[in-house]
Amino acid sequence: MNTLVETLQYFVVITIELIALFIGITAIVEFIMMHIPEDKVQTYLTGRGLWGNIIAAGLGALTPFCACSTIPMTVGLINAKVPFGASMSFLIASPLLNPIIIGMLATLVGVKAAVLYFVLCFILSVFFGFLLEKTGFQKYVKNVRVKEGMKTNDGLANRKSLPVGVKIKLSLKTGWDTLRPVMVYLLIGVAIGAGIYGYMPDDFLIKIAGPDNIFAVPVAAIVGIPLYIRAETAIPIAVSLIGKGMGVGTAITLIIGGAGMAIPEMSMLSGIFKIKLVAAIVAVIFITAVVSGFVFNLIL
């Protein structure tokens, strides 16, 4: 059991880290977009059907982002007019296919487990991104960012000619302007996550998601929802749980639930997506976690 001081330290550290990540990554996306014409980004991913989702999921797999830092990149993709389905494939794949998670899985659990994890999450990210677009969930995206009139190729040309220092300042301002509407969601989410981090006993997870429980996999997915599990800590936790008797598939389910449905991410998503889309994303991650867990138990 962690002390109150440790819980408060967790809250402060994670809050500062997420704010810095959000502003920094949004600024990087904005800086890049100053040099890449929106029509080229759109052309690269638009009109490719399912192939666009595959490319976006691959992009997500290459970005070493945790769940919350994925959101600014997703906002950047949507504002660059990348198709909604491809943006959702990126949003789903990025936290789940974090290269750190894949590498640690290969090292601590085995290469076979890492490959199976990657294949399952990649396929499901592509499929669910495609499905969300085809079922019309794009209408549930809020307009949380204004690009201050710089939407034309002439505007792009003017921005490309600005001094680097000015570009950096404009990019950081965009990062802050994007963060402000979702700040309250971030703070609420981190506060809840910090409380769980400090006061949830370890044996509680084992008790309700142990190998003797036939509902262990879905229970692990549900328990994983409120846990903000960083990539650097997710795999060691899973390995320790496996060592205490938890099935490999159940542990994988917990990782996917925690990494993909962290409360801070869901809270921040509420600032840019309407509730129906947030609920759909939670359902997608839950199904991905459960399917992956059962497949792992079946194969391994």
Q: Read off the pTM.
A: 0.68
What 3-state class would DSSP assign to 273? Answer: strand
Model confidence over 101-160: pLDDT tens digits? 787 788 778 889 889 999 999 999 999 999 999 999 999 988 655 344 334 444 445 666
- Highest-confidence segment of 13-27, 38-52, 187-201, 279-293: 279-293
Q: Which residue has the higher pLDDT, 237 or 191?
A: 191
State the chain's maximal CA–CA distance in angstroms: 64
Residues in the chain: 300
Tell me if 31 sits within 8 A of 174, measured CB to CB: no
Q: What per-residue confidence (pLDDT) applies to 151?
A: 42
Q: Which residue has the higher pLDDT, 106 or 87?
A: 87
Partners of residue 273 on adjacent β-strands: 141
Burial class (CB within 10 angstroms; exposed 0-12, middle 13-18, buried 19+) of 146: exposed
What 3-state class would DSSP assign to 151? Answer: coil
Q: What per-residue confidence (pLDDT) applies to 124?
A: 95
